[in-house]
Amino acid sequence: MNRHSLTRAFSLLIRRDLILAMRHRAEMVNPLLFFILVTSLFPLGIGANPNLLQAVGPGVIWVAALLAALLSLDGVFRSDFEDGTLEQYLLSSHPVSLLVLAKVLAHWLITGLPLLLISPLLGVFLGLPPAGIRILFITLLLGTPVLSLIGAVGVALTVGLRKGGMILSLLVLPLYIPLLIFASSAVDTAAAGLSVTAHLSLIAALLVLALSLSPFATAAALRISLS
């Protein structure tokens, strides 16, 4: 019975966050718009040389994805903190780490998934070859959840601070760097026609690592922020 109510709380929390996102569409669209704008400004800035664009494309898309994620992160716990619902999670009879996982999953569905879906289009825009676009999609599929999971730890630590944005970037960006390196080099390698199994395995490993550790770290950080 207890397990049943946990799955119920888990799914209800995700659904609630999706409903809230639908009622605040602007917040949902902002990171996506940012992602599209940044990537589409690059060809204008550095000139429409196909070879050049192909060379910088994967890096540009990934950097933009990373910054878009960072932009949206603050929303994960901010409003819950302000209206007191965050306290209610900590005082619930369910494991906080699992409720946190539901929050992060909802965040990914709201900000990560649209980004993922639009990425092939931006790949075409930057003149990436089909093989590169395919791998770009896979790296984003594996990588954007990692962005949300790692970011959640940083947000949980800074949610109690009035101006936590700057500290949040300083905390989180260094942890994003390994992902950025593996992901953009995977796309480059694929575009050159070589095997990327090693890269993808490493990114998948990062995802498993973040998935298993981040909810616990986030739950602990929330306790610190609220006490």
| Residues near other proteins (CB under 8 A) | 5, 8-9, 12-13, 16, 19-20, 23-24, 79, 82-85, 87-95, 99, 223, 226-227
CA atoms of 176 and 185, how far apart (whole Å) = 14
CB atoms within 10 A of CB 170: 11
Q: Per residue in 87-99, is it b (16+ CB within 10 Å) or e — as a string?
A: eebeeeebebbbb
Least Å distance, CB 16 to other proteins, is: 6
CA atoms of 215 and 57, how far apart (whole Å) = 32
Q: Sign (positive/negative) of CA torsion 61, 64, 69, 72?
A: negative
Least Å distance, CB 89 to other proteins, is: 7
Decide whether 13 or 115 has the Cβ nearer to other proteins: 13
Least Å distance, CB 164 to other proteins, is: 18
Decide whether 83 or 117 has the Cβ nearer to other proteins: 83
Least Å distance, CB 70 to other proteins, is: 24
Q: How far is CA 208 from CA 17, 138, 212, in A?
A: 24, 15, 6
Decide whether 101 or 135 has the Cβ nearer to other proteins: 101
Decide whether 86 or 138 has the Cβ nearer to other proteins: 86
Least Å distance, CB 92 to other proteins, is: 4
CA atoms of 147 and 127, how far apart (whole Å) = 25
Decide whether 90 or 213 has the Cβ nearer to other proteins: 90
Decide whether 40 or 97 has the Cβ nearer to other proteins: 97
Decide whether 152 or 219 has the Cβ nearer to other proteins: 219
Q: How far is CA 220 from CA 106, 114, 124, in A?
A: 20, 29, 42
Least Å distance, CB 217 to other proteins, is: 17
Least Å distance, CB 159 to other proteins, is: 14
214 CB-near residues (< 8 Å, 6+ apart): 104, 149, 150, 152, 153
- Residue pair 119/61 in contact by the 8 Å Cβ criterion: yes
Q: Sign (positive/negative) of CA torsion 44, 110, 211, 152?
A: positive
